[in-house]
Amino acid sequence: MNTQQLALVFPGQGSQKVGMLAELGAAFPSIKATFAEASAALGYDMWDLVQNGEQAQLNLTETTQPVLLTASVAVWRLWCEQGGLQPSLMSGHSLGEFSALVCAGSIDFADAVRLVRARGQFMQTAVPVGEGAMAAVLGLDDAQIIDICQQASAAGVVEAVNFNSPGQVVIAGKVAGVEKAIELLKAAGAKRALSLPVSAPFHTSLMRPAGEKLAEALAAMSLQSPIIPVVHNVHGKTENDPSAIKALLVEQIYSAVKWVSCVEAMAAAGITTTIEAGPGKVLSGLNKRIEKSLSCLNIESPETLAAALEAVAQ
């Protein structure tokens, strides 16, 4: 296999779990070393939290974001250390886009860890707890869902925010708007429309105040052009200019995650294999549904690492 056929993808919120990467951490010192770097940046023992903490603590968005970023960077460094094939593209789902930019050499790791913790705080404070909601919708096409959200928005802001795979879209907004949308979506024939256990309406226009704060934080940071191109959630394209990348990261916080567009763009560029670097295999499942021809691997244990190394060496 050649470099042109491989992309690495990085998971977003929802993939975190207590005990994640435990086996990799036991087998490879570089995993814990990466967590130690992140711990030094944030001032608490992140590996201990991930292995021995409470799931509720891990699920707080200001904790989730640096934890997942660190896990993904640790897996990427291990991949490089083991002589894994260098990908020709990278992408990440929401928070995962920051992981991709770190691994592509665009954002310094310690800076990124601090930045995504702040991003989590900004997102949580943009809408008070209890006022926002998100729901997953299965079995309707995108246009129907967008139309129904517009109808339901008379009850409160509600928007389609994650285009995850054909027939799987996440909506978010004010509680009353989301509840009204769920009612209308079920009436329209949705197979499922169920509330998600999240603490804020991510990727909606309600996140604009968080975007303004993130813009201020990014203005003080130095970004580089990525060594490996990163496909961005906002428009499904790559970007080389650091100031444009900053603008996309700000826009992403209050715009829909167009994951289907990201995966289609990678496939159109000749990608035949994606490797999900980090806990879980959420993106591997989505990628396969979006582009059935893709080979979708993930790395979260010594076994999955060995399988991925072998698959791309052929």
d(CA 161, CA 148): 13
Cα Rg of the chain, angstroms: 19
Distance from first CA to last CA of the chain, Å, rounded? 6
d(CA 152, CA 176): 9
- Asked whether 28 and 47 are in contact (CB, 8 A), the reply is no
d(CA 57, CA 45): 13
Annotated active-site residue in 72, 91, 106, 203: 203
Annotated active-site residue in 15, 91, 94, 261: 94
d(CA 238, CA 232): 6
Report residue 252 as tokens: 């992403």
3-class DSSP assignment, residue 275: strand
Report residue 58 as tokens: 């891990």
d(CA 172, CA 239): 27
Nearest CA among 33, 28, 32, 38 for reference residue 51: 32
d(CA 67, CA 308): 23
Q: Is 235 a catalytic residue?
A: no
C-alpha distance from residue 158 to each of 83, 105, 175, 308 (Å): 46, 36, 8, 40
What lies within 8 Å, CB to CB, of 51 at 6+ separation is 18, 19, 22, 25
Cα dihedral 126, 180, 255, 59 in deg (nearest 10)? 50
- Asked whether 98 and 118 are in contact (CB, 8 A), the reply is no
Q: Is 203 a catalytic residue?
A: yes
> What is residue 2's DSSP assignment?
-
Report residue 106 as tokens: 């665009």
Q: Residues with catalytic annotation?
A: 94, 203
